[in-house]
Amino acid sequence: MKSAPTTLRYIKVASDLHDLFGDNLGDHVVEIGCGYGGQMLILDQLFEIPRYTMFDVPLVCQLISKFIESFAINGSYLVTTLNKYQASKVDLVISNYVFSELPKHLQLIYVRKVLSGASKSYLTMNSGKGGSLDVIFEILTLEELGEVLPEFEVIDEVPLTAPFNYAIAWNHKPQ
Residue 3 has what pLDDT? 74
Dihedral pair phi/psi, residue 85, rounded to 5°: -70, 130
For residue 89, how far is the Cα from the chain centroid?
Answer: 16
- Confidence band of 174 (pLDDT split at 50, 70, 90): confident
**Mean residue pLDDT across the chain:** 93
- Confidence band of 87 (pLDDT split at 50, 70, 90): confident
Query: What is the per-residue burial (b if ≥16 Cβ within 10 Å, else e) of 95-115?
Result: bbbbbbbbeeeebeebbeebb
Residue 150 has what pLDDT? 95
Domain locations along the chain? 5-170
Residue 1 has what pLDDT? 65
Residue 6 has what pLDDT? 87
Are the CB atoms for 101 and 127 separated by under 8 Å?
yes
Tell me: the pLDDT tens digits for 130-168?
A: 877 766 778 999 999 999 999 999 999 999 988 899 999
Are the CB atoms for 51 and 27 separated by under 8 Å?
yes
pTM: 0.94
Residue 173 has what pLDDT? 86
User: Higher confidence at residue 34 or residue 134?
Assistant: 34
Region 5-170: CATH code: 3.40.50.150
Residue 175 has what pLDDT? 65
pLDDT exceeds 80 at position 34: yes
Residue 109 to residue 73: CA distance in whole angstroms: 30
